[in-house]
Amino acid sequence: RRDVLVLTPWLAPIVWEGTFNRDILNAQYMQKNLVTGVVTFAVKKYWFFIEGFMSSANKYFLAGHQVNFYLFTDNPEQISHLQMAPENHLFVIAVQNHSQWQDISMSRMDIISRYIRSQFQYEVDYLYSIDIDVQLFEHIGVEIIDTLVGTISSWQYTARRESKSYETRTESQAAIPKGEGDFYYTASFYGGSVAEVYKLTRACFKGVMEDRENDIEARWHDESHLNKYLLYHKPTRLLSPEYYWDEEL
């Protein structure tokens, strides 16, 4: 691809359609006998999206490879039987809801890190967090697998640095200094090795709690903290906006 940026300034690949050979990657991945986990949250009205997300992810996410789906919901009894591919497993985990969606959003980092420590580290090699209100229309394969992976926001890909939606208030733990920032990453799709995702979620939740103690809320909640973390802990692989495209665009 010569029409897009395929390498970051720190030499991490940016994955676009047409920049990899999936057959070669699949063969390499198969030999390693790895398991990948997907975490998603369906709280309050978002349980409406479960069937669309799960049926499309079951079909298109790392098809043919072992995937554990961890679905956190405040309504586990409402989950109808979902037919999964033989290599996929669905785990429904009860979680309490919060009165405000921001609180739900910001507690996700804490929940993910706690479950990594108690459960996920023993069950999967890589872990990805994906929002429930999406559907997959094409294959997402092992080209996404790496140590620390961020997805470039489709809304902010072409924005100049000063126009990106970073948190700029210095009182916030999510603040990005003026003139800094590489890409704007969406919190709707990120992941990597279990160890790296644990460090990321722990750091982001710590920032959220410090902000709360100081009576401040970052501009875009957990996404602001994610962007701060990835500024100083560079992703080893970036996914292009193709991987999380907003149909409004």
Confirm whether residue 152 is marked as ligand binding.
no
CA 24 to chain centre: 25
Task: Compute the chain's Rg from CA coordinates.
Answer: 18
217 is catalytic: no
Confirm whether residue 41 is marked as ligand binding.
yes
Which of 217, 223, 242, 247 is the catalytic position? 223
Confirm whether residue 223 is marked as ligand binding.
yes
Q: Which long-range contacts (CB under 8 A, 24 or more apart) does 8-14 make?
A: 8/182, 8/183, 8/234, 8/235, 8/238, 9/182, 10/234, 12/234, 12/235, 12/236, 12/237, 12/238, 13/237, 13/238, 14/152, 14/238, 14/239, 14/240
CB-CB neighbours of 25 under 10 Å: 15
Confirm whether residue 132 is marked as ligand binding.
yes
Confirm whether residue 42 is marked as ligand binding.
yes
The secondary structure element, H or E, covering residue 193 is strand 185-193
Confirm whether residue 43 is marked as ligand binding.
yes
- DSSP-assigned letter for residue 35: E
Residue with tokens 């390499």: 28
At 45, give phi and psi (nearest 5°).
Answer: -65, -15
Binding-site residues for UDP-N-acetyl-alpha-D-galactosamine? 41-43, 46, 131-133
Binding-site residues? 41-43, 46, 131-133, 223, 246
- Give the active site residues: 223
